[in-house]
Amino acid sequence: MCKGLAALPATCLKSARDMKHWIGVRLNKQELQPHKCASNNQKRKKAKGMTRADPTEVQKWGESLVMLVNNEVGLTIFSTFLKSEFSQENIEFWVACEEYKKIQSQGQLATKAKEIYLVYVEAGSPKQVNLDSATRDETRQKMAEEVSLNCFEEAQRKIFLLMEKDSYRRFLKSKLFLDLARDQQVPSK
């Protein structure tokens, strides 16, 4: 059934190469603007450390999805991979839930909960995530009772498990990750 890269149109292959190039550029780009008083050498070290994946980190990304999504660069690369597969709504939902859990104001909590629900959870929503009806109903019920930090707990857990079983496994086999892992290999001593 799967015919590999040869079966893909040239435009898809070009897009994949462009995406790989874009990620490489982003990883190497110095996006940090350190304090003006710092020396140029300190600036370079700080920027390099913040925008490049450490070889041991890349290795850890292959061990678990938790390690991948808890690393800023790893999360960015995984998100880019999911966008290439048109399935970025799962990671966007997961990130939105993580941000939601950090909200301290009850007013902001209610606003953000409604936004997350309307965008990701509600049936027919623009970026509807793949939840079973029981979880969708449970989430709706929790929001109806009282908006709290755990409104999306079960839905987020299920989406994480879905990504772990599906998207993450494809990511580990993707040319994108394999090339990155190869390029970032820890030099032997």
Query: Per-domain residue ranges for the chain?
Result: 94-165
In this predicted model, what pLDDT tens digit does every residue of 167-185 receive, in sequence order?
Answer: 999 999 999 999 888 887 6
User: Is residue 59's pLDDT more than 50?
Assistant: yes
Query: Cα 98 to chain center, whole Å?
Result: 12
| Structural contact between residues 184 and 53, judged by C-beta atoms closer than 8 angstroms | yes
pLDDT at residue 21, as a whole number: 52
- What is the CB neighbour count within 10 angstroms for residue 123? 9
Question: What is the mean pLDDT of the segment spanning 14-31?
Answer: 51
In CATH terms, is domain 94-165 a member of 3.90.1640.10? no
pTM of the model: 0.70
**Is the four-CA dihedral 100, 74, 126, 161 of positive or negative sign?**
negative
Rounded CA-CA distance 9/159 in Å is 31
**7: number of Cβ within 10 Å:** 8
Cα separation, 145 vs 141, in Å, equals 6
Phi/psi for 5 (5° steps) reads -65, -30
pLDDT in tens, 60-74: 999 999 999 999 999
**66-98 pLDDT tens trace:** 999 999 999 999 999 999 999 899 999 999 999
pLDDT band of residue 42 (cuts 50, 70, 90) is very low
Check whether 26 has a pLDDT greater than 60.
no
Neighbours of 103 (CB within 10 A): 15
Which residue bears the tokens 């700080």? 46
Nearest to 128 by CA among 167, 164, 160, 92: 92
In terms of Cα–Cα distance, which of 87, 105, 100, 108 is closest to 152? Answer: 100
Q: What is the mean pLDDT of residues 30-38?
A: 36
Q: Which two tokens stand for residue 161?
A: 């498990």
The token duo for 52 is 């490049």
Residue for token pair 């929001």: 143
Q: What is the pLDDT of residues 117-168, one digit of tens each?
A: 999 999 999 999 999 999 999 999 999 988 999 999 999 999 999 999 999 9
Kindly give, in sequence order, each residue whose CB lies less than 8 Å from that of residue 22, ignoring residues fewer than 6 positions away.
Answer: 80
User: What is the model's pLDDT at position 6?
Assistant: 53
pLDDT at 20 over 80: no
**Position 35 pLDDT exceeds 50:** no
